[in-house]
């Protein structure tokens, strides 16, 4: 059994707990706050609703979450321990000392620290230091894949590799930061952008809302899919990066920005920012903003997945590790997944067109199951759908889990007839049915023809089994 311990279950620890549990790990939590269980429950609910929407496949069964009264108890049996206590070195060092005395001999420890170097966290931990690394995630941890993995010279390469393996297995993208440095890589950017934004507000150049709009309508969209350097390479036109640098390099020296100074956090500045932020978003609760943020992230990441780009590429790679052959049940369970937010329409439910996609995906799973898989198709044979009758029986909404049970009604020669039933997980309500008639075709002639003998035999066996019940 895979077990993770979470020490400190606030915004970030709660996010880690949700990601580990939703990826099938048992999670043991210690937090000093008596309200921790309620707070983590809310983060968990956000993660439970949105993380499965990223995947077009069955998720592992959710692991068990338990709360413990001490660090010693929480870390028992854990292969991965994630420290997410407040950003104070003294608190972190004290927690590591307690973990060191109680962790299993083979446990690895990740720290969520936004700014401390691993060597600072490892101070006074003796040989246990070799097991402590920075594993800095991004909020919300259950959706965003990036985790900056920062080892020091005290961490042997095999521990670093093991850490990467574990983080990848829960759908994260570990970016190995090869030189330890304050605030790693990403927080350096975030801090410089934040500092510049504070000046723009303080100097009365822009409001918090105008600054946010300058990001979300423009370069924020570019950054999510190409980052900084690739974007600028394209901006250099045909002459590429060198031309871009020649054209815009001098501005760095004028300079356009005030990045080196920090505006003083006077009461006046804090009030100015807080008041503008209230005017911008005060009509929505933090929970409502989280839901907006998470739904938009899911939709954007699914679009990137469609393109196989950036965070979407790592999603595809992770999803491939979750795929497993269909169990030989009667009927076959050809889909088991969650309705993603981008499948819903103006009526607030799953759009009718998506039912067609669900049943098409179910048929594709069945094709793989009978041997008409990617290799078979690449060799020039496939099935085309000739007729589909869908009955829409009940609504389903974003975040609801469902499955599709498929029966082979006919599998003779070039003819294949399937009957699918789609049911909601929580109450087994029948949502839709689909009668589907397919023809085996040659992809060379684009005309119907009999399948290869092994596929035909497999189909005949299934049809016989499905007829009996």
The answer to whether the annotation marks 377 as part of a ligand binding site is no
What DSSP line would sit under 163-218, residue for residue? HHHHHHHTT-EEEE--S--TTTTHHHHHHHHHHHHHHHHHTTS--HHHHHHHIIII
* Total Cβ atoms within 10 A of residue 81: 27
Question: Which residues are bridge partners to 350 per DSSP?
Answer: 344
Per-residue binding string, ligand NAI, 408-447, x by CB under 6 A, is ----------------------------------------
Name the residue whose CB lies closest to ligand NAI: 10
Say how far apart CA 443 and CA 246 lie, in whole Å.
52
Q: How far is the CB of 115 from ligand NAI (least distance, A)?
A: 7
Give the nearer residue to ligand L46V6VHR in terms of CB position, either 10 or 24: 10
In the list 190, 259, 289, 378, the residue contacting ligand L46V6VHR (rule: CB under 6 A) is: 190
The answer to whether the annotation marks 13 as part of a ligand binding site is yes
What DSSP line would sit under 406-440, residue for residue? EEEEEEETTEEEEEEEEEETTT--EEEEEEEEEEE
The answer to whether the annotation marks 171 as part of a ligand binding site is no
Buried b (16+ CB within 10 A) or exposed e, 177-203: beebeebbeebeeebeeebbbbbbbbe
User: Is 208:280 a contact under the CB 8 Å cutoff?
Assistant: yes
Q: How far is the CB of 152 from ligand NAI (least distance, A)?
A: 17
Say whether residue 362 binds ligand NAI (CB under 6 A): no
Element (H or E) spanning 259, and its range?
A: none
Say whether residue 137 binds ligand NAI (CB under 6 A): yes
Give the nearer residue to ligand L46V6VHR in terms of CB position, either 66 or 139: 139
- Six-digit token string for 327: 């169990």
Give the nearer residue to ligand L46V6VHR in terms of CB position, either 12 or 432: 12
Say how far apart CA 292 and CA 281 lie, in whole Å.
12
* Total Cβ atoms within 10 A of residue 387: 10
Give the nearer residue to ligand NAI in terms of CB position, either 12 or 107: 12
Say whether residue 30 binds ligand NAI (CB under 6 A): yes
Closest CA to 111 of 136, 80, 143, 78: 136
Q: Which does 86 bind (CB under 5 to 8 A by kind): ligand NAI, ligand L46V6VHR, none?
A: ligand NAI
- Six-digit token string for 240: 């590429």
Q: Which does 203 bind (CB under 5 to 8 A by kind): ligand L46V6VHR, ligand NAI, none?
A: none
- Six-digit token string for 83: 């420290």
Q: How far is the CB of 134 from ligand L46V6VHR (least distance, A)?
A: 11
Q: Which does 113 bind (CB under 5 to 8 A by kind): ligand NAI, ligand L46V6VHR, none?
A: ligand NAI
- Six-digit token string for 14: 């709660």
In the list 138, 244, 355, 402, the residue contacting ligand L46V6VHR (rule: CB under 6 A) is: 138
Say whether residue 7 binds ligand NAI (CB under 6 A): yes
> What does the binding site for ligand L46V6VHR look like in residue numbers (CB under 6 A)?
114, 138-139, 187, 190
Residue positions forming the annotated binding site for NAD(+): 8-13
């Amino acid at each position: 059994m895979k077990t993770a311990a979470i020490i400190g279950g606030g915004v970030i620890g709660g996010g880690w707990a949700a990601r580990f549990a939703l990826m099938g790990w048992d999670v043991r939590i210690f937090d000093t706050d008596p309200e921790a269980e309620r707070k983590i429950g809310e983060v968990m609910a956000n993660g439970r609703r949105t993380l499965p929407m990223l995947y077009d496949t069955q998720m592992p069964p959710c692991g068990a979450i338990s709360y413990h009264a001490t660090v010693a108890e929480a870390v028992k049996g854990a292969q991965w321990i994630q420290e997410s206590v407040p950003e104070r070195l003294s608190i972190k060092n004290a927690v590591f000392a307690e973990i060191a005395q109680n962790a299993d001999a083979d446990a690895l420890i990740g720290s969520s620290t936004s700014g401390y170097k691993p060597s600072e966290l490892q101070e006074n931990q003796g040989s246990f230091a070799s097991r402590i690394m920075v594993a800095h995630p991004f909020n919300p941890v259950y959706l965003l894949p990036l985790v900056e993995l920062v080892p020091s010279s005290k961490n042997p390469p095999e521990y670093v590799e093991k850490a990467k393996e574990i983080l990848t297995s829960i759908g994260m993208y570990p970016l190995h930061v090869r030189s330890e440095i304050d605030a790693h890589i990403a927080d350096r950017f975030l801090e410089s952008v934040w500092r510049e934004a504070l000046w723009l507000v303080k100097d009365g150049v822009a409001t918090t809302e105008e600054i946010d709009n300058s990001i979300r309508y423009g370069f924020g969209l570019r950054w999510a899919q190409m980052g900084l350097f690739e974007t600028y390479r394209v901006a250099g036109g045909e002459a590429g990066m060198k031309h871009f640098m020649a054209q815009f390099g001098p501005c760095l020296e004028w300079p356009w920005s005030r990045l080196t100074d920090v505006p003083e956090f006077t009461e006046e500045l804090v009030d100015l920012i807080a008041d503008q932020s209230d005017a911008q978003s005060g009509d929505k609760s933090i929970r409502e903003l989280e839901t907006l943020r998470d739904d938009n992230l899911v939709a954007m990441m699914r679009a990137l997945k469609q393109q196989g780009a950036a965070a979407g590429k790592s999603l595809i790679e992770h999803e491939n590790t979750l795929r497993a052959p269909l169990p030989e049940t009667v009927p076959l369970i050809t889909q088991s997944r969650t309705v993603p937010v981008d499948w819903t329409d103006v009526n607030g439910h799953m759009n009718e067109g998506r039912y067609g996609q669900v049943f098409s995906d179910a048929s594709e799973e069945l094709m793989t199951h009978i041997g008409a898989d990617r290799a078979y198709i690449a060799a020039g044979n496939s099935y085309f759908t000739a007729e589909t009758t869908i009955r829409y029986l009940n609504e389903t909404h974003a975040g609801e889990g469902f499955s599709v049970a498929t029966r082979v009604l006919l599998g003779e020669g070039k003819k294949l007839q399937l009957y699918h039933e789609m049911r909601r997980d929580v109450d087994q309500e029948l949502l839709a049915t689909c009668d589907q008639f397919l023809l085996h075709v040659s992809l060379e002639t684009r005309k119907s023809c009999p399948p290869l003998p092994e596929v035909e035999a497999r189909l005949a066996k299934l049809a016989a089994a499905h007829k009996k019940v």
